[in-house]
Amino acid sequence: MSNICLATHIVYNLSLDGLNRKLSLSEQLKLFGISESNSKKEIPTYTDNFTTPSILFIIGFILGDGTLHLKLRKSDSGSIWLIPTLLLPQLKNKFNDHLFSMLEIFFNSLDIKTYINNKGKNLDIIDIFNDNSLLSFRQSTSIKSRDEDKDIKKMSVLTIESMNSVFKLIIPLIEPYSKYLYWKLDQYYLMYNVAKLVKGKAHFTLYGFITIIDIIYSYPNKRLQPKEYWLNIIQSWFKSRAEKSLSGENNIQAVYGRNSLKGKIIAWKCVFPVESNIKFRQFGFSTDNSVETRIALNQAIQYRDTSIKNWVDSLK
C-alpha cells in the first residue's frame, strides 16, 4: 500500500498537469483506501540517470507531452517561412533540470541546436503560446486553452526549430520507428511529406508551395488563419517576383540574340531548380513579330506548368 501511496505522490508532483486534476491528491488516495492522515510522503532522492537518451526515448516523450508542429509565418519580404518545430515540455522543477541537460547532450551529439524556455529559473510564469499558429500544441498535450493558465505556468520547454534540424536530421531518425508514434503518427506524416517537397526544392515554385500548403491543411490541426490566407500571400509573392521578369512569368527567362540581334529578345527559356532534373527548354520567335512572341510565351508557360506539376506530384 505504501508503494501505491508513493507512486501517486510522484505522479501528482512530476506530471505536466501537476495538481490540477479532477480528483485532489487526498481524493485519489482515498480511492486506494489510504487515509489522508497517512498520505504524507516524502519523495525519495534518486540517483540521476546519466544514460544518454535515444531516439526511442524521444518518441516516447513526443507520445506523452511533446509535439511535432509545422508553423507558417509571413516573412518580411512578403513570402512565407516554413518552420518545422519539435516541442518537448515538462513541469518546471528541480527534478527535470537533469532530464533537460541529458536531452541537450543527445541533440548536441547530432549537431542539432536546441533552446529551453525558463531553464534554470525559479517557477516564473512562461507562455509558450505567443505564436498563434501553435494551436495544435494545445490539443496534442493535456493543455487545453489560455484560460487554464494554471496548467502552463510552471513549465520548461525544449524547442528545436529549423528545416535542417527537423527535416534533415530528426525526421530521418524517427522514420525507422515511426510506427511507434501511434496516435501522433499524423504529426510525423505531416513533417515527413512536407520534408520530401522541401528537400526537392519544390517550394521554390508556386505550384510546389501551394502543394505544401494543401498538405498542411489536410491534417487535423486547428490554425488561426484559413488556408486561403496563406494561399493569397504566396500567390502575391510569386506574382511580385514575376513582374520583375521580362516575360512577366516565374521560371521563364528572356534569351538575347547575338551579332545583328544583340540586345533583342529572341526566345523564352524555361528554367527550374537543379534538384528537379527538368530539362531546360527555350521557345524562339521572330523579334519583330508580337504574335510569334506571344505564341512562344504561351508554349513556354504550358511547358513550365506541365513539367513542374509532374515533378512536384512525383515527390508526394
Q: Over the stretch 32-84, which tens digit does the pLDDT of each residue have? A: 888 766 666 666 666 777 888 999 999 999 999 899 999 999 999 999 999 99
Q: What percent of the chain has pLDDT over 90?
A: 64
**Average pLDDT of 96-100?**
86
- The winner for highest mean pLDDT among 12-26, 81-95, 293-307 is 293-307
From residue 29, alpha-carbon distances to 18, 38, 40 in Å are 16, 10, 11
Cβ(191)–Cβ(158) under 8 Å? Answer: no
- Going from N- to C-terminal start, the domains of the chain cover 2-38, 55-240, 245-315
Q: Over the stretch 228-237, which tens digit does the pLDDT of each residue have? A: 999 999 999 9
d(CA 13, CA 46): 15
More confident call, 8 vs 261? 261
d(CA 287, CA 276): 31
Burial environment of residue 291 by CB neighbours within 10 A (0 to 12, 13 to 18, 19 or more): exposed
d(CA 292, CA 300): 12
Q: Grid coordinates in use for 264?
A: 533583342
Q: Which fold does the domain 55-240 belong to in CATH?
A: Endonuclease I-creI (3.10.28)
**Average pLDDT of 85-102?**
86
Helices (H) and strands (E) in the chain, counts: 10, 7
d(CA 26, CA 34): 8
Number of residues written out for the chain: 316
Using DSSP's 3-state secondary structure scheme, residue 125 falls into coil
Least confident stretch, 16-30, 73-87, 140-154, 245-259: 140-154
pLDDT computed for residue 102 by the predictor: 93
303, pLDDT greater than 50:
yes
Average per-residue pLDDT for the chain = 85
**Average pLDDT of 142-150?**
44
165, pLDDT greater than 60:
yes
Interior angle at CA 104, CA 132 and CA 48, nearest 5: 120
119, pLDDT greater than 50:
no
d(CA 181, CA 177): 8
Burial environment of residue 97 by CB neighbours within 10 A (0 to 12, 13 to 18, 19 or more): middle
Q: How confident is the model at residue 121 (pLDDT cuts 50, 70, 90)?
A: very low
More confident call, 5 vs 161? 161
